[in-house]
Chains A and B, each alone.
Chain A
C-alpha cells in the first residue's frame, strides 16, 4: 500500500495534466508539494521496510535519497511558478512538463526503492525517457536537437546497463535462480558465485552505462550541452534527482563488486574517474556560461561521491551527495535570475539587486557558489576531508600505497584548477562589470531559502548520526 501512496501524487498530477481548466497552472504545483507527505512517512518507518514481496525495500540509504530528491522537486516547483516571466514557454508545454514530471517521479520511486536489478532498470529507463520531453519544453531548434541527442545517448547508456545486468544475472542464476536479480540476496551469496569473472564483466558494463549517463568520459560535454539547451528547472532536475537514481544503482552494484574483489573494483573505477576529472577540470576552466559551468561541476562532484564510496568513505560519499543534491539544483535555478541580462554574461551578476529580498538572494547565491567548492562551513568541506581520509586509509591497506598517494595528489591538483575557476568567477560576479538591475520574485527567494536551510540541516549532529549509521 505504501508504494501506492508514494506514487499517488504523481498519478494525480498525471491525470490532472489532461484536464483543460484555467486554474490548472496553480493546481499542478500543489500536487507536487504532496509528494513530500508519503516520503516523510516512509522516512519515519523502521528500516528495512519491505514493500511488495521484497521487490522494493525501503532502507536508511534509499529513504534518505528519496527525501532529498523530494525536497529538490519542491524547490524546482517553486522556481516553475515564475518560469513564464523568465523564458518564453507556451501554456501547453508547461502542462506537458508536469505530465512528464509525473512519469519521471514514478520511474524514480520504482528505481530508488528497488531491491531488484530488473525493476531498478525499468524505473531508470522510465525516468530517462520521460526527461526527454522535458528538454523539449524549450521550443528552440537547439533544444530539439539536444532532446534527440539525449534520447539516443541515453538509450545507449541504458542499454549498456541492461547488458551488464543480464551478465550479472547469468553469473548468479545457477545458485540463486530467479532471485539472482535481488540485490540483498545477491550480496549475501556473492562469495558462492562460481563465475566471478562474469559478474565483474557485468559490473564493468553496468558502470560504463552509468558513467555515460552521468556525463563521464567520453561524453563529458554531452550533458552540459543538453542542460544548456533546456530550461533551468530541467537542468536542476537532472543534477538533483535523475543522477541520484543512477547513484543509488551504482551504490548497490559496487557494494557487491567490492565483496568479490575490492582491489580490481577500486582500480577500474579510480582510473576511469581520474581520466574524467582530468578532462572535466580543463573544460570547467574554459567554460563561459553558468549552465555549462554548473553542469561540468556536477560531473566533478559525481566523481568525488563515487570515489569516496568506492574507497569505503560511505559517510563522506552520502554527505557529499546530499550537499550536492541541494546546492547544484539551487545554482541551476538561480541562473533564471543570474542570466536575466544575458546568457553568456558572468561579470556583475551578483550586483544590482534591490530591496531586502534581492540583496539576501544575492548573498545566498554567493554562499552556494562558495559552498559548492567546499569552502567551510559547507558540508562539502567536511565530506571532502572525510572522503580523502578514507582514500588514504585504503591506500594504507593496499600494496600500491605510493601509487595511490601519487594519484591522489594529481587529483587534488586537478581539483585546485576547478577551485581557482570558481573563485575567479565569484570575484567577477561580485566585483566586476556593471550593476544592472535584476528582479527577484518571492518564489525565487523561497527556493533559495529552502535549499539553504536544507543544506544547513546536513550539518546537524542528528544528520551525521543518521548517515554514519547507514554503512557503519
Chain B
C-alpha cells in the first residue's frame, strides 16, 4: 500500500513538471500533499507511532486542504498569470526526469544499507527534491516557483518520514508553523504588488 502511494507521490511531481496551467499545478500540489499525508499515516500505523499519525493528519488538513485553497484564492484575487510556460523545452524535460530518478536510485542504494530502510523510498524522496528544484528553475513566473518550494518541503518531509520514521513531533510542528508563515508572507508580497 505504501509503495502504491509513494508511486503516486512521484507521479504527481512528474505531472506537475509538465503542467502548463497554474490551477492544474496547484491541484497537483494538493494531490502530492494528499499522498504524502496518507503515506505518513500508513507509516505511523505500521510502526504504531502516534506522532507520525498526528503529523500525517496535519499534512492532510494543512498542505492538502488549507494551503492549496489559499493559493488558489490568492491567484484569483491578485490576477496571477494562469498560463505558465516552461523555460526548458519539453523534449529535454522528458530526458531529464528519468535521468534524475535513475541517478537518485543509484545514489540511495549505499545510503539505504546504512539507514536500514527501503532504498526506493529514500531514492524517491531525493529524486522528488531534485524534480522540485527543476520545477523552480524551469519557470519564469513567481507562482510556480512558490509551488515548487512547497513541493520541495513535501519531498523533505517524505525523506524525514522514510529515512528516520519521522522527526521529533515538536520539530515537525515547528516546520508546519514555518510553512504557514511562508504562506502569509507570500500573500503579503502579492498584496503589496497588487496595491502598487
Instruction: Give the residues in chain A near B189, CB-CB below 8 Å.
Output: 132-133, 136, 144, 147-148, 151
- Give A107-159 interface residues, CB cut-off 8 Å to B: 116, 118-119, 121-122, 125-126, 129-130, 132-133, 136, 139, 144, 147-148, 151-152, 155-156, 159
Complex contact A155–B152 (CB within 8 A): yes
B121 CB to nearest A CB, Å: 12
Complex contact B182–A129 (CB within 8 A): yes
Instruction: Give the residues in chain B near A178, CB-CB below 8 Å.
Output: 168
A95 CB to nearest B CB, Å: 13
Task: Provide the bound-state CA to CA distance between A197 and B115, in Å.
Answer: 11
Complex contact B129–A122 (CB within 8 A): no
A162 CB to nearest B CB, Å: 5
Instruction: Give the residues in chain A near B82, CB-CB below 8 Å.
Output: none
The stretch among A165-173, A353-361, A441-449, A451-459 that forms the contact with chain B is: A165-173
Complex contact A156–B136 (CB within 8 A): yes
The stretch among B21-29, B53-61, B96-104, B156-164 that forms the contact with chain A is: B156-164
B133 near A: Cβ within 8 Å? yes
A411 near B: Cβ within 8 Å? no
Complex contact A159–B156 (CB within 8 A): yes
Complex contact A195–B129 (CB within 8 A): no
B55 CB to nearest A CB, Å: 13
Task: Provide the bound-state CA to CA distance between A171 and B149, in Å.
Answer: 26
Among B136, B159, B192, contact of A166 (Cβ-Cβ < 8 Å): B159
A83 near B: Cβ within 8 Å? no
B153 near A: Cβ within 8 Å? yes
Complex contact A118–B167 (CB within 8 A): yes
The stretch among B9-17, B30-38, B83-91, B173-181 that forms the contact with chain A is: B173-181
Instruction: Give the residues in chain A near B114, CB-CB below 8 Å.
Output: 171, 194-195, 197-198
Q: Do A126 and B136 contact each other (CB < 8 Å), given the known contacts A139-B196, A159-B153, A170-B115?
A: no
Instruction: Give the residues in chain B near A43, CB-CB below 8 Å.
Output: none
Instruction: Give the residues in chain A near B182, CB-CB below 8 Å.
Output: 129, 155
A11 CB to nearest B CB, Å: 15
- Give A174-231 interface residues, CB cut-off 8 Å to B: 174, 178, 181, 194-195, 197-198, 201
Complex contact A166–B152 (CB within 8 A): no
Instruction: Give the residues in chain A near B153, CB-CB below 8 Å.
Output: 159
Instruction: Give the residues in chain B near A388, CB-CB below 8 Å.
Output: none
Complex contact A133–B193 (CB within 8 A): no
Complex contact B156–A144 (CB within 8 A): no
A190 CB to nearest B CB, Å: 16
Q: Do A122 and B171 contact each other (CB < 8 Å), given the known contacts A129-B185, A152-B149, A173-B164?
A: yes
A382 near B: Cβ within 8 Å? no
Q: Do A126 and B164 contact each other (CB < 8 Å), given the known contacts A148-B189, A152-B149, A156-B136?
A: no
Task: Provide the bound-state CA to CA distance between A126 and B111, in Å.
Answer: 30
- Give B35-87 interface residues, CB cut-off 8 Å to A: none
Interface secondary structure of B, over-half rule: helix
Task: Provide the bound-state CA to CA distance between A156 and B164, in Å.
Answer: 22
- Give B137-166 interface residues, CB cut-off 8 Å to A: 142, 145-146, 149, 152-153, 156, 159-160, 163-164
A163 near B: Cβ within 8 Å? yes
B32 CB to nearest A CB, Å: 15
B42 CB to nearest A CB, Å: 19
Complex contact B136–A152 (CB within 8 A): yes
Question: Which residue, A116, A144, A167, has most C-beta atoms of chain B within 10 A?
Answer: A167
Task: Provide the bound-state CA to CA distance between A136 and B192, in Å.
Answer: 9
Instruction: Give the residues in chain B near A163, CB-CB below 8 Å.
Output: 129, 156, 159
A18 CB to nearest B CB, Å: 14
Instruction: Give the residues in chain A near B8, CB-CB below 8 Å.
Output: none
What residue in chain B is nearest A181 (Cβ atoms)?
B168
Instruction: Give the residues in chain A near B156, CB-CB below 8 Å.
Output: 159, 162-163, 166
B2 near A: Cβ within 8 Å? no
B186 near A: Cβ within 8 Å? yes
Among A118, A119, A133, contact of B188 (Cβ-Cβ < 8 Å): A133
Complex contact B115–A125 (CB within 8 A): no
Complex contact B145–A152 (CB within 8 A): yes
Task: Provide the bound-state CA to CA distance between A162 and B125, in Å.
Answer: 13
Complex contact B149–A167 (CB within 8 A): no
Task: Provide the bound-state CA to CA distance between A155 and B186, in Å.
Answer: 12
Instruction: Give the residues in chain A near B149, CB-CB below 8 Å.
Output: 151-152, 155-156, 159
Task: Provide the bound-state CA to CA distance between A343 and B115, in Å.
Answer: 54
Interface residues of A (CB under 8 A from B): 103, 116, 118-119, 121-122, 125-126, 129-130, 132-133, 136, 139, 144, 147-148, 151-152, 155-156, 159, 162-163, 166-167, 169-171, 173-174, 178, 181, 194-195, 197-198, 201
Interface residues of B (CB under 8 A from A): 110-111, 114-116, 129, 133, 136, 142, 145-146, 149, 152-153, 156, 159-160, 163-164, 167-168, 170-171, 174-175, 177-178, 181-182, 185-186, 188-189, 192-193, 196
Instruction: List the 3 closest pairs (A to B, CB-CB), nearest first.
Output: A118-B171, A122-B174, A195-B114
What are some 10 contacts across the A-B interface (CB < 8 A)?
A126-B181, A130-B181, A156-B133, A159-B153, A159-B156, A166-B160, A170-B164, A173-B164, A181-B171, A195-B114
Q: Can you name 16 extra interface pairs (CB under 8 A) apart from A152-B145, A167-B163?
A: A116-B171, A118-B174, A119-B170, A121-B171, A122-B177, A129-B178, A136-B189, A139-B196, A144-B192, A144-B193, A151-B185, A151-B189, A166-B163, A170-B115, A178-B168, A195-B115
